[in-house]
Amino acid sequence: MTSTQSPIVRMQQLNKHFGSLHVLNNVDLEIVPGEVVVIIGASGSGKSTLIRCINGLEEFQAGSLDVDGNQLLPNGKSSKALQTIRTEVGMVFQQFNLFPHLSVRDNVTLAPMKVRGWSRQDAEETAERLLERVGIADQADKYPSQLSGGQQQRVALARALAMEPRLMLFDEPTSALDPEMIGEVLDAMRELAKEGMTMVIVTHEMGFAREVADRVIFIHKGEIAEQGPPEQLFDTPQHERTQSFLARVLKH
Amino acid sequence: MDVNFQFDWSAAFGSIPYLLPGIPWTLLISFGGLAIGFFIGIFFGLLRISPVRWLRWPAVLYVEVFRGTPILVQVLFIFYGLPQLLGGPINALVAGIAAIAINSGAYISEIVRGGVQSIERGQREASLSLGLSRTQSFRYVIWPQALRRMIPPLGNQGIISIKDTSLFSVIGVGELVRQGQIYIATTFTALEVYFMVALMYLAITWTLSLILRQIERRGLAGQ
């Protein structure tokens, strides 16, 4: 990692509340281009909320957030910047969220055509290339419900990549998958990481995290409790909370 | 009283030529009214789920008023009441279509609201995360899915509205029931004629059911 590059995400003193619940507490986070950051933590720790703030699916109440030169303001008061950020930041969801009324191909071409204004032909060529890359080019005419969970998640990845994002967010991308399908999705993500995509991944797959992450962040009760290279965080965790969390999740 | 009364098939069949002219009127009032009601329903249904509070309340008011009062009262109000305000008579056909439109519009706006709200939150989040604007997200992702889910309840409403037109015999529109009443007035064969009237409603509503089933089957094939 060339840490001399200017960060693509710069989060300073970010705070988020759900009513009286303090979900994110003074979070500082910088991510540089090409970096793969994996966020781990117990459920309810705020890790999903954290990445959903980056593309404005969640509002925050205080602090500052800069994504690729676009300033997001507290309480959702930044619709113009938000629009720009969302065209530059792709996201893959736990529940895939494919559009069930559109074919696989149309799922992938919708945003490039409507947002980027590409011609159908350009969008379909890109879709074909991306579907090829995630290994499902032969399913382009099918509808999402006709695919397995693993295939659906790979379509979702292709759909996000079609917008040529500068940054990809993954919100527990394998948590809704049957065990035998987790590998195929992780493989596709591994490929993407190798190609140099900047990625922020929330996951419970610790083996995958150790393998692909440049940096692992452990979140506890809305705060970054500890972070570092995977070997350091997994092998010699400093924080007592990190130790007990890892002891729990690595047991099985 | 004659307990040996026989169902007179010749009277039943004999009424057909007098009843048939009522069918186009029944269809015109119901489908004309429903077509307008559909747009009223979309308009108020979407207002009802607007994030802006003061846009929501007219929609709530509309639904409560026109769902909460009988359609018979509505049509009487339009046909006999409104002319007092307007200073001139209202055509019975227009009054009938208007009553179906405002009445079905209230129910359809609830169908629209339910359809849109039934679409999972993840659909909106996924489309926004791809950079689609709120409008694009609604137009290309939410609405097409909502419309599919709305087909069964819309069909239901269509059938209800078709049957509601039978009430408009009271304002003298020559629809099915009215035609039957005129015929019975000279032949006194109420049993046979109303039986045939019922059969004709059944033929219309059943045909609509079959068409809707086809649309549903085709619409869901892509899911």
pLDDT tens string A111-170: 999 999 999 999 999 999 999 999 999 999 999 999 999 999 999 999 999 999 999 999
The answer as to whether A148 is a domain residue is: no
pLDDT tens string A176-221: 999 999 999 999 999 999 999 999 999 999 999 999 999 999 999 9
Q: Are A188 and A159 in contact (CB under 8 A)?
A: no
Reported as a pLDDT band with limits 50, 70 and 90, residue A5 is confident
The answer as to whether A132 is a domain residue is: no
Contact map slice: A 134-173 vs B, CB within 8 A: 143, 145, 156, 159-160, 163
The residue type of A234 is: F
pLDDT tens string B64-82: 999 999 999 999 999 999 9
Reported as a pLDDT band with limits 50, 70 and 90, residue B221 is very low
Chain A residues with CB-CB distance to B132 below 8 A: 110-111, 114-115
Report how many domains make up chain A. Answer: 1
> What CATH number is attached to the domain comprising A68?
3.40.50.300
DSSP code of B140?
A: I
Cα–Cα distance between A249 and A42 in angstroms, integer?
A: 9
The answer as to whether A61 is a domain residue is: yes
pLDDT for residue A99 is more than 50: yes
Interchain CB contact of A87 with B (< 8 Å): yes
**Type and span of the H or E element at A78:** none
Q: If we measure between CA atoms, which residue out of B162, B166, B171, B168 comes closest to residue B206?
A: B162
Domain B17-216 sits in CATH 3.10.180.10: no
B197 token code pair: 């009237």
Among chain B residues, CA nearest to A83: B131
A114 to B136: CB separation less than 8 angstroms, yes or no: yes
Interchain CB contact of B134 with A (< 8 Å): no
The answer as to whether A158 is a domain residue is: no
Q: If we measure between CA atoms, which residue out of A90, A112, A95, A94 comes closest to residue A169?
A: A90
pLDDT tens string A28-63: 999 999 999 999 999 889 999 999 999 999 999 999
Structural domain containing residue A36: 7-98+165-248
